[in-house]
Structure 1
Amino acid sequence: MEAHSDHKHLQALRQGDYSILEHLYEAEAGAVLRYVCRNSGTAADAQDVFQEGILALHQKAHDPDFTLTCPIGALLFQICRNKWLSQLRKKNREVEVRKAEAERYETENIVHNTLEKIEEEEIRQRKLDQAFGQLSELCQQLLQLLASGMASAEVAEQLGMNNANTVYRRKNACAERWRNLFNAQTA
């Protein structure tokens, strides 16, 4: 491939003439700034990328096997563009990793909290069952029949009570006794 006319600038850099760098700053820094700012970056990001691009160009200039085949400004812009895209990919990966970790942590917490709640509910249910077992046979039958949806009049007849009012009074007394037994276990 034939060398571009700007290859002379690389040769000047090889020989220690850095005046081309000032020219590149003036001519190309604005384009890099606009590109980076339009693509999720800041002026500070653009300045960092431009500096990295200048350093990369300087390294290319000192590679004896490298031949410039395009304008030096285009090469510098492409180097800066690639460096910025690489930083964006790295930032996106970091954001994705942070997001995945946050989701994993949240999922673990949800599972842990759910298991804790299930365990607490099982303990609570066991204590309710134990307290229920301490009730009189009549209270147990009364509460079970009412819980099954049987009408108060039918419950009164089946358990040999006078009427539905007696069932309600007895139900309230049994429920209160059950509550007290349960609370005594959890205290």
Structure 2
Amino acid sequence: MAYYFDELIVSEIKKKNEVALRELYKAHYPMVVNLIRSNNGTEQEAKDIYQEAVIAFYEKVQEEDFVLTCKIKTYLYAVCRRLWLKRLAEKKRFHGNIEETETFLGIEEEMVTIEENEKKFARMRESLSGLGEPCRGILEDFYINDLSMEAISEKFGYTNADNAKNQKYKCLQRLKKLFFATYKEDLP
């Protein structure tokens, strides 16, 4: 359910829907207030930090190649945490570790996972661009553009949807080979 909410929010923010932005703001604000107040901050400072984080998220979502690779909550928490650490350092009020709330233990691990996923997505994009036509077009139309096999069959001139489906399977196998060939090259 949370994932669906996140996808819906991202979709609506891409359309510059202010209602979605307000919902996003309300949904995670208490988390940030808790983080900032339990780490030498005021509610006003929490508002400022959260505002910056939401703006950063909004701008990121507007980028054409943006892909949500974690929960919005995780993203906002990480950004707010970094901004708050920076602000504390500037004010010389930072004396060691920032206190984590129980709910958000493991944020560093999740950020590592996010970075690894971003590398995999980049590799997948690279593999997909190296695939060539018609395979790239078939896979993009099916997995990204949500076209039916019947529509793909018509678009690419196959005699029926089953032939198009067989071709999609072969293209997917070629994509996997390309992906794992580059994946093995990146291993230490």
TMscore range, shorter length = 0.3 to 0.5
Higher helix share: 1
The normalised TM-score by structure 1 is: 0.44
The normalised TM-score by structure 2 is: 0.44
- Which protein has greater RCO, CA pairs closer than 8 Å, 6+ apart? 1
